[in-house]
Amino acid sequence: MNGATVEIIVALLGAGWAILAIWLIAVSVRLKRLGKERKVLAKAGENGDFVAAVSKSLSELAVLGAGLVEIKESLSKLEFDLRTTVRHVGVVRFDAFDDVGGKLSFAVALLNGHGDGVVLSTINGRQESRSYAKFIKNGDSSYSLSSEEREAIAEARSGDLVKA
């Protein structure tokens, strides 16, 4: 064999060794990844075989799905209840008579999310007090409303929550 042929063989062997080294690194990385996956599978099958573990997980998933349906139904009911409960309150205090001060008279509007509810008014005088309750439907009433009652309704409708 001549020198050129030996050099070619050495170069081919070197390239082969380089390819083998790269392949060995790739296989090592894949084995490491498979080792992690094996640990996950082994953990899943600790209490029996893998198929039983998967079957148990699927049945638990079905139970969770049924629970989620119940939660969604409860949430829908709560949303409806919230729209129909008193959420908006407006209070207006005023002097009903010139000779009585201190703004002892008042109008209170109690409304739900649809603008339905009641406005309560109390007129305080020196000798007597009178109270009135008027139903409100969509922010208005079939009864005549005083300016203070309309103001209380407007105040209630402008806010989102009960005022403290």
User: What does the pLDDT profile of the chain (164 residues) look like in tens digits?
Assistant: 677 777 888 888 888 888 999 999 999 999 888 888 777 777 766 666 667 777 777 888 888 888 898 999 999 888 888 878 888 999 999 988 877 778 889 999 999 988 899 999 999 988 889 999 999 998 889 999 999 999 999 999 987 554 44
Q: What distance in Å separates the CA atoms of residue 61 and residue 54, rounded to the nearest whole number? A: 10
Q: How large is the angle between the packed helices 50-84 and 3-44, nearest 10 degrees? A: 60
pTM of the model: 0.54
Per-residue tokens: 31: 């084995």
Give the pLDDT of residue 97: 84
Domain boundaries, the chain: 1-44, 45-84, 88-158
Structure tokens at 156: 């209630």
Beta strands in the chain (DSSP E): 88-94, 105-111, 117-124, 129-136
Residue type for position 89: V
**CA torsion sign, 48 to 53 to 54 to 55?**
positive
